[in-house]
Structure formats: structure tokens, C-alpha cells
Chains A and B, each alone.
Chain A
Amino acid sequence: MQTPNNDSGIYLTISSNNTLTGNNASNNNNNGLSLDFSTNNTLIGNNAWNNIMVFFVVFQQ
């Protein structure tokens, strides 16, 4: 059983002029591929499948 990343598979923050090609960022707990405050990047043919955030049971009366 694989352990998922708890936030993002691939995370770019304050990053520029990067090229991401053919990466897989799947089955993580929040985002597959995430860019924050990032400019002039190129993403080609990446896979970001089945990223799932689950909130657990709380019953409120």
C-alpha cells in the first residue's frame, strides 16, 4: 500500500520559468499539481488523477 502525499503531489511556490512534462501526481490527499504565486511555467502532458480529500466522521447533535 502506497502512502499518499498529504498535501500536493507536485508543488511549486514562488517559482518561475519551469517546465513540467509527463509527470504523474495522482492519489494524493489534496492537490495533484499545485502552483502558488508562480509565473511563466509550462505544464505539458502531466497526469493528476484521483486526488482525494476525505473529511472524517463527526456527528453534531
Chain B
Amino acid sequence: MNKGEYGGGTGISLSSSNNNTLINNTASGNCAGNFEWYESYIYGFGISLSSSNNNMLIGNNANENGGRVYGEGAGYGFGISLSSSSNNTLTGNNANSNSGTGSGYDGYGYSYGISLTSSANSTLIGNNASNNSYYGITLLSSIDNMLNGNNANSEQ
């Protein structure tokens, strides 16, 4: 395997999908892993939305997801990830204890409870994103979102 980014290990994946409703689903313990030795970036997701708009996520569990790298590179774990997705509503979801791991030579691990990247006009209310090893809730290049009453405690 050559260097690069590799996804996989996703509980629930929405890609270019709009106006869907996800209620009380469980997407936990999903991961991608490798035995790589050369600049790999591995992702594991609980719930992933990519280029998906106007969806509602209510009361879902997305815990203990992670990417694993053994060697040079990084493992990323996401509870709930929104990428290039707008006008979504997340209410009362649990995205706890997600953990990306890296071990061996120059391996790193990062994790996110709820991550918004290049996403706009979404509403996050009363979600739990705690005990993730890097970030509870993170917004990157995202605008006009509303966060209210979420819990993001005890990040390590």
C-alpha cells in the first residue's frame, strides 16, 4: 500500500444524500486499521455525512470509533462527522470516547466527538461529545452554525 488517506470502518454513512432522518441508531465501535509503514492516514467514523444537506440526527449513539495506524502516519476517530454538509440538525446525540490511535514509528492518533468541516447553517443542540481523546466538538472552515447546550467534557 502506498502512502495516502484511507477511510472505511463507518457505522452509518450518508454521501450526497439529503432530507434524511436518523433517530436512535447506534453506530459504535467502528474502525479502520492497518499495518502500514509509510505515511498513511486512516479514518474510522460512527456517523459520516459528506456533501449531505437538510438531514436530522436525533438521539443516535456514535461512541468508541477510531482509526488505527501502526507505523508512520495518523489514525483519526470521529463520532459524528459533517463534511461539506449544510442545514443539518443534530439533537441529543452521543459521540463519546472516540479514539484514533497511532503506534510504532512516528504514529499519531486524533479523535473528535462531533466535527464540522466546511459546513454551514447546522444546528447542534444538547449533544454529548465527551471523553474523546482530542476534541469534543470542532468546527473547521464552517460558518453560521448554532451550538446550544452541548456537553464536551473531559477531553484528554
Interface string of B1-32 (1 = CB under 8 A from A): 11000111111111111111111111111111
Interchain CB contact under 8 A, B15 and A30 = no
Closest chain-B Cβ to A19's Cβ sits at a distance in Å of 9
Q: Which residues of A lie under 8 Å from residue B2 when comparing CB positions? A: 60
**What residues of chain A lie closer than 8 Å to B33, measured between beta carbons?**
52-55
- B interface with A by C-beta (< 8 Å): 1-2, 6-38, 40, 42
**For the complex, is A2 an interface residue (Cβ under 8 Å from B)?**
no
Q: In whole Å, how far is B107's beta carbon from the nearest beta carbon of chain A? A: 14
Q: Which of A44, A46, A52, A56 has a CB less than 8 Å from the CB of B32?
A: A52
Contact across chains for A39 and B36 when beta carbons are under 8 A apart: no
Quick check: B11 and A49 within 8 Å, CB to CB?
Answer: yes
- 7 A-B pairs with the lowest CB-CB distances in the bound complex, closest first: A53-B8, A55-B34, A48-B11, A53-B32, A60-B38, A57-B35, A34-B13
- Residues of chain A within 8 A of B19, CB atoms compared: 39-40
List residues of chain A with CB under 8 Å of any chain B CB.
Answer: 8, 29-60
Residue among A29, A35, A46, A58 facing the most chain B CB atoms (10 A cut-off): A35
Is the CB–CB distance between B20 and A48 below 8 Å?
no
Bound-state CA distance A18–B80 (Å) is 22
Complex Cα gap A59–B33 (Å): 15
Task: Say whether, besides A48-B26, A49-B26, A31 and B31 are in contact (CB < 8 Å).
Answer: no
B13 touches A50 (CB 8 A): no
Q: From known contacts A33-B12, A44-B23, A51-B10, infer whether A56 and B30 are also in contact, taking CB-CB under 8 Å.
A: no
**Chain B residues within an 8 Å CB radius of A34:** 10, 12-15
| Interface contact A60-B37, CB-CB below 8 Å | yes
CB-defined contacts of A37 to chain B, threshold 8 Å: 15-17
